[in-house]
Structure 1
Amino acid sequence: MDIDTAIENISRNTVEIIEIDELKELLKKDEKVAYVGFEPSGKIHLGHALTIKRMKALQDAGFKIKIFIANLHAYLNGKGTLEELNETAAYNIECFKALGLSEETTEFIYGSDRMTPEYIVNVFHASTLTTIQRAQRSMAQISRGDAHNVAEALYPIMQVMDIHDLKANVAVGGMEQRKIHMLAREVLPKLGLEAPVCIHIPLIHGTDGSDKMSSSKGNFIAIDDSPKDIKNKINKSFCPTGVIEDNPVLELAHYYIYDENETMLIERPEKFGGNLELTEEELLDIYAKEELHPMDLKNTVSKYLIDILAPAREYMENL
């Protein structure tokens, strides 16, 4: 795969890449590593799956993929006991495999297994270069609750050193990770270490219209949801007539249907106008003009998502 094609594939449906020229140089190397970290946190949903799509694109471009299961970080973030988190982590790993990241091509790493003396010393060293205020700002979109404690300041510094410890050239994450990634690009060179290229993925709106799809909020489509559950969740989704901006149903069509298809077929009875085969531009146009009923849109998106998630659902059912 040539560099321009690789860049096009990797950058699809991303918010930003910092910096694109650095990524181009990495693509010339024989050995390169891309990593993403996930806290074990219940169901793996379409928000996570959007990130996995980019990891697969990086894999296709020759990167070794490392999925960091941040169980210790989740513990510091008040997500549960280590025993509970490890149980969730095992399920999460199977979900990632269901999305196409096999053990043959992907390394799955538990954070609690990386607590070597060298790592701890590096965390201490990095902490001398980071103010408490900067660490807390880095956690603004990640921390659980309003109480500020030492763990909250330690978390981003650990994540910075995870990047070095995993020998990652590229760090991938949602936009909530941006401040931590920027901290890594600032602190690691001060330690004489390589700064990562950072790839940021958009946060998908929850089905309730809130800013983020989240397993804790219950506003998600899980990758192993049954067809009935997918249909019910989409039917209940926030989808105001004529509203384009921040519409989660249109967003799912953008990221999961139009990502793989030039057009989307909307099937409806002749008495309601008959079938429509629409490009994304055409869909947005007629929806904004209120020429398409939200239920016709919801029924179509449900049908496509049920088919798209069929392989993942079957993998999980056969465990």
Structure 2
Amino acid sequence: MHLEDQINIIKNNTLDLITEEDLLNKLQKKKKLKVKLGVDPSRPDLHLGHAVVLRKLRQFQEFGHIVYLIIGDFTARIGDPSGRTKTRPMLSEKEVKENAETYVEQAFKILEPQKTIIKFNSEWLSKLTFADIINLTSRYTVARMLERDDFSKRLRENEPITIAEFLYPIAQAYDSIFIEADVEIGGTDQLFNLLVGRKLQEEFGQEPQVVMTMPLIEGTDGHLKMSKSYDNYIAFNDTPENVFGKVMSIPDHLIIKYMCYLTDIPMEKIKEYEEKMKNMEINPRDVKMILAEEIVSLLYNKEEAKKAKETFISIFQKRDMSIDLPEIEVTEGESILDIVSKTKVYDSNSEIKRAIKQGAIKIDEEKIEDFKNVPNFKEGAILKVGKKNFFRIKKAK
């Protein structure tokens, strides 16, 4: 493929490309670029917000380039200040290690393993001496650091900013220096961090990396960015049925955005769907069905997507509860709190208690109102957790 054509495909859907000229120069000089993405395991799950960036990385792989997936097991302990109005609590080494365990496996749902190099940044950051850190930090000014919107806003509002937070973009930049990255990709909230990497590479005599940012997508609530903190995320590790159901729950105004950034549906077809929905020639629910099937295929495969669609139709349109559902094995005497925690829908007991209080937990359509409740149920009873999650209860023998 001609280089300009390759660049046009790569820059499609990107928001920032700094610079296109640099990218062209690199492609002319090298057959294989080092394309970097850093992810901090501050939570155990990747979600569809990460998929936007991972899909762009996959495009680079399809053109023969090498992706460096940097697991920020060291930087996660500092905490990325991007988009934060307050200092993040620092994570322990144990918490970070536990969160990182499944990151690689999840990322390979989209990336090609044979074209991906996995690195943990503790490999080099933990070996830096105090003299090394002084050398690094001497190359970037406080004035430049305070140009960052997050920091300048907190300074105006007398919110504390720790020195450790200043070190975060420096540490992320050192990742780029260490692997000699040609390109770094991130969400729009990462632009400042990525530009620090570009500047410090120059300071160390390297050719500065090309910076590319991708948009942040809103979560299932339709307003806030997708995040586990806002409980509006669709996780890579959700079951196919849960992924399908959650996609079906998104507001209609997100359908086209999700199609653009999370599927390979041709743009002409997406525009056709958009026009037909606008003119009320097609029900948005039907377009959402197509979207949900595509996203389950992305995370699993076409067969699982088809099964998830059939399950959804059976439950929500035909109200057929005889179909196969994920099973939850329950021991006699277990409380509803214990039972719901086995579904992994919620991350904590406090979230489960909140859901019970809101009437979001039902067994055979009977609402559970007390988290201490020890339900009396028949074998094969249907447990409904939230709006879209169904499980069949199996009594332990």
Tell me which interval the TM-score lies in, with the shorter structure as reference length: 0.7 to 0.9
Q: Which residue of 2 aligns with 1:101?
A: 112
Deviation readout 1:296-318 (Å, 9 max, x if unpaired): 3333322332233224998xxxx
Work out which structure has the larger RCO, using CA pairs closer than 8 Å and 6 or more positions apart in sequence.
1
* Whole-angstrom distance in 1 between the partners of 2:281 and 2:31: 52
Corresponding residue of 1:127: 137
Question: Pick from 227, 230, 237: which aligns with 2:250?
Answer: 237
SS in 1 for 2:52: helix
Query: Are 1:137 and 1:179, in contact at CA under 8 Å, matched by a contact in 2?
Result: no
CA shift in 2, pair 1:107/1:6, >3 Å: same
Offset, 1:105: 2.2
Matched, 1:248 2:254: yes
Tell me which residue corresponds to 1:275.
none
Specify the alignment match of 2:36 in structure 1.
35
Q: Say yes or no: does 1:73 pair with 2:75.
A: yes
% identity of equivalent residues: 25
Q: Bigger shift: 76-85 or 289-298?
A: 289-298
Q: Which moved more, 1:47-56 or 1:219-228?
A: 219-228
Match among 125, 129, 145 for residue 115 of structure 1: 125
1:98 is paired with a residue whose SS is coil
- Equivalent pair of 1:37/1:70 in contact (CA under 8 Å): yes
Amino acid at match of 1:131: T
Partner residue of 2:94? 83
Helix, strand or coil at the partner of 1:71: coil
Structure 2 counterparts to residues 29-68 of structure 1, below 5 A: 29-40=30-41, 41-68=43-70
Q: Which residue number corresponds to residue 317 of structure 2?
A: none
Contact 1:73 1:111 in 2 (8 A): yes
List per-residue Cα deviations over 1:98-146 (Å, max 9, x = no partner): 22331x32111111111265686554223123233533554839xxxx6
Q: TM-score, normalised by structure 2?
A: 0.65
- Offset of 1:3 from its aligned partner? 1.3
Give, in angstroms, the shift of residue 234 of structure 1.
2.4
Q: TM-score, normalised by structure 1?
A: 0.79
The one-letter code of the counterpart of 1:254 is C
Residues 120 and 207 (structure 1), Cα distance of their counterparts in 2 relative to 1, 3 Å cut: farther
Cα deviation digits, residues 223-276 of structure 1 (max 9, x gap): 23223212331233233xxxxxxx32321122233x34467xxxxxxxxxxxxx
Choose from 204, 209, 213 the match for 2:226: 213
Unaligned runs of 5+ in 2: 80-88, 152-158, 305-397
CA contact (8 A) 1:42 1:216 kept: no
- Any conservation in 2 of the 1:33–1:66 contact (CA below 8 Å)? yes
**Cα contact 2:17–2:213 (8 A) shared by 1:** yes
Query: What's 1:300 paired with?
Result: 290
CA contact (8 A) 1:207 1:249 kept: no
Change in CA separation of 1:209 and 1:121 when aligned onto 2, cut-off 3 Å:
farther
